[in-house]
Structure 1
């Protein structure tokens, strides 16, 4: 990685872009933030930055070159844009036929294709975990009560389901309890899935027994982890607790955790375990 050149952060929504900028800054790496209009937060305006529309591929590349960036990180939540309401620039129009083909598939297909477009322009796409390993989930129990044997069986079953669904570009997150899968993450994302579970609990559709229910997140087998790693944060813990879940299990080394200290505090307060499991198929 080109440590002396500015790190270009193409920022979506949420807390991760700022956490990454701070981590790079702490390592002495200069940062240039490319903020997506209407999506990114204004807190990154504290760094050298430019606001760019999501469809302005040419402008993104031009701003990154002007700032001297060679390495780019795509980070932050981003709703799949509507291609027909996005205003592209000339740079985007040049790639429009290719982008149209990329839209004929799931998010992994789209994101991997966009990464190739940036690389073709001479940039290197790097993962947030490569820049800021301190944001990566460690192995073992991070907070909350110790998972029991039933929890570990559920985690193993959920991970097998994620692996099976992976080729269909769906299912990075699953909610499971006593070997019953009650929700699979779709286009609504993890927060939306947990809100759906909370609504089912409130309506009586789900009746958790005491100490039942786990959110399991894992990368899909074909997922490009440079541009789309599973992630959790304090809000994930709050929403899991609101849904009556007992714990959260994610793959250590392949999951980003924002505000890790706050995740621990909230998990301990709610009595929700947070567990980093090994990369192998079992927990």
Structure 2
């Protein structure tokens, strides 16, 4: 029997993916276990883990949820996985995206197919359009500027989110994550040139060279609440490239706070 394995990370995405699949096997990288039953594995024993997947009849693998680069323990490597270390360390020098692609290559070399979220639950990636609210012309300009900033930052493998107000970049998402970025933007809202002008936009998009089968940016109701607390006008994101969890609740919170939610085409202004 063909089976699908879910590599579950933290957050609400993994439970949604697991619920959409029929009898998946659920695993989690040790140290990043989600709040659900999952069999742990270590990156230092990646090849034996892949052997286990194949032995269980797994042919497809889905990565769902947040993880960070683990600290590797050299003494924990088994001989076969140790042979992969030069490849992975070389990729790590180019950033997390390159390291992740190298790991995916290893999965595929063992005959495992990597499935993206859009293959499992396509409705989680909204197509182009305004879901609620009305972005003003100034909001649209700020969104276009934010998209340009993220595109320019792509080669540096920094983050997937940015806050722009009145054409100025207030904050960029880095390792601490979206919540920290929005808190920073709220603390520096006074830097906007016109206190009565455009309040600003939180924008998300995948990195230009990102493998879209894994690590797509994710938004949800908490993102809306955080953007509202930061005093922003709304949230925009690249249409078809960002996961929106619990859409109904996200829209409800946006309506309550007076924010717009907009899946934006790259060509939009």
Using the size of structure 1 for normalisation, the TM-score is 0.86
Do the aligned residues in 1 keep the contact of 2:27 with 2:40 (CA within 8 Å)?
yes
Gaps of 5+ in 2: none
Structure 1 residue 32 corresponds to structure 2 residue 25: yes
Judge conservation of contact 2:43–2:72 (CA < 8 Å) in 1: no
Match of 1:100 in 2: 89
Does the 8 Å CA contact 2:10/2:35 hold for their aligned counterparts? no
Q: Compared with structure 1, are the counterparts of its residues 85 and 95 closer, same or farther at alpha carbon in structure 2 (3 Å cutoff)?
A: closer
Map 1:61-72 onto structure 2 (within 5 A): 61-72=50-61
What is the Cα deviation at residue 50 of structure 1?
2.1
The structural deviation recorded for 1:30 is 3.1
Q: What do residues 156-205 of structure 1 show as CA deviations (whole Å, max 9, x unaligned)?
A: 1111111111122224211001101111112222222112223334xx56
Which of 129, 148, 154 is the equivalent residue of 2:142? 154
CA contact (8 A) 1:58 1:90 kept: no
Which residue among 174, 180, 184 is the counterpart of 1:192? 180
2:188 partner SS: helix
Distance 1:251 1:274 in 2: 11
Deviates more, 1:132-141 or 1:52-61: 52-61
Q: Please, what is the CA RMSD of the aligned residues?
A: 2.2
Q: Distance in 2 between matches of 1:129 and 1:211?
A: 34
Aligned mate of 1:269, from 253, 256, 260: 256
1:246 maps to which residue? 233
Residue 67 to residue 179, structure 1, CA distance change in 2 (3 Å): same
TM-score (ref. length: structure 2): 0.91
Cα separation, partners in 2 of 1:147 and 1:205, compared to 1, 3 Å:
closer
Question: How far does the alpha carbon of each residue in 1:117-166 deviate from its partner, in whole angstroms, 9 at most, with x for none?
Answer: 111111111211111102112321223x2001001111111111111111
CA deviation string 1:70-92 (max 9, x = no partner): 11111211122233589444443
Cα distance in 2 for residues equivalent to 1:240 and 1:125: 33
How far apart, in 1, do the equivalents of 2:78 and 2:227 lie?
A: 41
Contact 1:172 1:217 in 2 (8 A): yes
- Residue 109, structure 1, aligned to residue 98, structure 2: yes
Q: Is the 8 A contact 2:218 2:242 kept in 1?
A: yes
Instruction: Give the C-alpha shift of residue 58 in structure 1.
Output: 2.5
Aligned residues of 1:50 and 1:63 also touching (Cα < 8 A)? no
Contact 2:32 2:67 in 1 (8 A): yes
Pairing 1:22–2:19 present:
yes
Asked if residue 75 in structure 1 is aligned to residue 64 in structure 2, the reply is: yes
Q: What corresponds to 1:13 in structure 2?
A: 10
Alignment check: 8 A CA contact 1:175 1:181 kept = yes
